[in-house]
A and B are shown apart, each in its own frame.
Chain A
């Protein structure tokens, strides 16, 4: 509806309602005519509040003054501008209208300004987050890229001088770094599956054991020497999720466990369930996690500025992406130390 239409409707209905009330009032309490004006003033304020601009208020106040004069003051049903004090009534009503119009206009403008400011603020906040993410990503990408470029150029320049085993070592190194890059990119791509606006994912019913087995299979393809003990409940669990994303979370957790636990003991991956949730656990038997890091391990930027960041490359991004994925699913993710190592676990709701 256009603003003009809305103004007309509000003004008309406000005046009609006020007039009806005034009629009822003067019918039942004829001796107190002062209230009639008050009813109109109330109507005026309401009209001004719910319309835009000054015109509706002005017109209403003129109409109201005429109505009071014509309908509710003696002589009834005729205009009489000679009534004593009439100009005062007129001026009063006009004054009230103008004042409220100005005030509501001001309030509206302020509300608008505050909303603008909030939007600007959240936009800068978003911009800041984006910049942080980009910085973290570029930092993480640069390390393996440097490795790949360095190794390949040294191979190209010295290929006649290098002994065979060194060539193999260089190529292995390139291969590892490239795989690591791929993992990183897959994580970033995963995030793009989450809708920007609503932060939700497209869920379909998936069988939990198939997700777990697919994750283990992909992990073994990437790290053939990985040793994982895996178990799922006897009961078949089918819950709604974006399977690709949950698989990604599992792979990230498993890979972290293998790379960062500094232990050869098999990793334990198991699923358990209660009435409302299904929980996936990834447990390693290694060095555990520094309690200081544990606090904000899912924040993603906890490692920026950390001198060791090059040595444990990228764990931060992977975990913060896990957190994003779980949040979009309405689930949770946590980490804790147990006596023999570290454990990551996440839950997914059984019902949407």
Chain B
């Protein structure tokens, strides 16, 4: 990689800023920093970052506003930084167009993993031509999209149509959290009942088919109050 990725950090807490900037610089990223939403927005426009890290609790503007504003003109990946107990806030941020979130406090490895996932996704969807994903692989799980085939440890697993739809949607967005509503809309259509009980039932069935222990899953993780996240695709 000869080009450094450029990250814009919009965060008002000086200490958190310092820690994130140090971390990112040691990992060979170029970091710009804005202490409030106004500067953040103008930097987002002028510096053209590859990724934006956005704290939702900014002093001068609601974080959701910032996301909507950026989404009006750019598809740059946005990772939201938020506190743990605010599930509603996270869901709203994701619905407003954020790509992912990370919960305060977070470790370096978690932050780097999120950033890598987001950057890779933006490369797939963005201008850089990449081979189309036709295969998902993680640990012992393989999904062959073309053959409609799912195997764990080489054993074929049969899913219902709905289950397969859920699984592949999560797999194609692997590493990224998918909200209940997004998943329901994708699988059952925009007019589906937003009651997620049916989703839970399907998810329980999927887990019973492919996880060794549904209470300690290896592939699909629950983000309580928000949605599901599938383990990263190792094939990319």
A213 touches B215 (CB 8 A): yes
Q: Are A211 and B216 in contact (CB under 8 A)?
A: no
Are A209 and B85 in contact, with the CB atoms below 8 A?
no
Contact A230 B225, beta carbon cutoff 8 Å: no
- List the B side residues contacting A244 at CB < 8 Å: 84-85, 87, 224-225
Contact of A207 (CB < 8 Å), options: B200, B208, B223: B200
Whole-angstrom CA separation of A231 from B217 in the bound complex: 11
Nearest CB of B to A77, in Å = 74
Is the beta-carbon distance between B224 and A209 smaller than 8 angstroms?
no
| Smallest CB separation, B202 vs chain A (Å) | 10
Q: Is A243 an interface residue (CB 8 A)?
A: yes
Decide yes or no whether A141 CB sits under 8 A from chain B.
no
Q: Is B105 an interface residue (CB 8 A)?
A: yes
Residue B207 CB within 8 A of the other chain? yes
Closest CB of chain B to A169's CB: distance in Å? 19
- Let me know if B222 and A205 touch, CB within 8 A: no
B interface residues, tally (CB under 8 Å):
23
CB distance from B103 to the nearest CB of A (A): 10
Contacting residues, chain B, for A211 (C-beta < 8 A): 222, 224
Contact indicator per residue, chain A 130-173, by CB within 8 Å of chain B (1) or not (0)? 00000000000000000000000000000000000000000000
Collect the chain B residues with CB atoms within 8 Å of residue A206's CB: 224
Q: Which residues of A contact B213 (CB under 8 A)?
A: 230-231
B217 lies within 8 A of A236 (CB) = no
Q: Are B84 and A209 in contact (CB under 8 A)?
A: no
Decide if A214 touches B204 in the complex (CB within 8 Å): no
B181-232, CB < 8 A from A: 197, 200-201, 203-204, 207-208, 213-217, 221-225
Q: With A243-B224, A243-B225, A244-B85 known to touch, is A213 a contact of B200 (CB < 8 Å)?
A: no
Task: Say if the beta carbon of A66 comes within 8 Å of chain B.
Answer: no
A169-194 at interface with B (beta carbon < 8 Å): 182, 186, 189-190, 193
B221 near A209 with CB under 8 A, answer no
Q: Of A212, A214, A236, A247, which is within 8 A of B201 by CB? A: A236
- Shortest distance between the CB of B212 and any CB in chain A (Å): 11
Q: How far is the CA of A232 from the CA of B213 in the complex (A)?
A: 9
Contacts of A212 in B (CB 8 A): 215
Residue from the list A182, A207, A216 in contact with B204, Cβ < 8 A: A207
Does A238 lie within 8 Å of B85, measured CB to CB?
no
Instruction: Evaluate whether A236 and B200 lie within 8 angstroms (CB atoms) in the complex, with A186-B84, A213-B217, A244-B87 already known.
Output: yes
**A window 70-128: CB within 8 A of B:** none
For B107, the chain A residues whose CB sits under 8 A away are: 221
Within 8 A of B (CB), among A249-279: 269, 271
Kindly state the separation between the CA atoms of A193 and B224 in the bound complex, as whole angstroms. 15
The answer to whether B200 touches A247, judged by C-beta atoms less than 8 angstroms apart, is no
CA distance A262 to B85 in the complex (A): 31
Closest A residue to B201 by beta carbon equals A236
B83 to chain A, nearest CB (A): 8
Contacts of B208 in A (CB 8 A): 234
Chain A residues closer than 8 Å to B222, beta-carbon distance: 210-211, 213-214
Determine if B204 and A209 form an interchain contact, defined as CB atoms under 8 angstroms apart. yes
Let me know if A294 is at the binding interface, CB within 8 A: no
Give A235 Cβ to nearest chain B Cβ, in Å.
9
Alpha-carbon gap, A216 to B225, bound state (A): 16
Across-interface contacts of A42 in B (CB, < 8 A): none
From A190, A207, A269, contact of B203 by CB (8 A): A207
Which single member of A189, A216, A236 contacts B216 (CB below 8 Å)?
A216
Report if A24 contacts B (CB, 8 A).
Answer: no
Q: Which residues of B contact A221 (CB under 8 A)?
A: 107, 110
A181–B207 Cα distance when bound, in Å, is 35
User: A245: nearest residue on chain B (CB-CB)?
Assistant: B85
Give 1 or 0 for each of B166-192: 1 = CB within 8 Å of chain A CB.
000000000000000000000000000
Q: Quick one: given A207-B203, A210-B200, A238-B200, are A217 and B215 in contact (CB under 8 Å)?
A: no
**List of A residues within 8 angstroms of B197 by Cβ:** 205, 238
B24-53 contacts to A, CB under 8 A, are none
B105 lies within 8 A of A193 (CB): no
- Given A190-B85, A213-B215, 20 other A-B residues pairs in contact with their CB atoms under 8 A: A189-B85, A193-B85, A207-B200, A210-B224, A211-B222, A212-B215, A213-B214, A213-B221, A213-B222, A214-B222, A230-B216, A231-B215, A232-B214, A232-B215, A236-B200, A238-B197, A238-B200, A244-B87, A244-B224, A247-B224
Chain A residues engaging chain B, CB cutoff 8 angstroms:
182, 186, 189-190, 193, 205-207, 209-214, 216-217, 221, 228, 230-232, 234, 236, 238, 243-244, 247, 269, 271
Binding site for A on B (CB under 8 A): 84-85, 87, 105, 107, 110, 197, 200-201, 203-204, 207-208, 213-217, 221-225
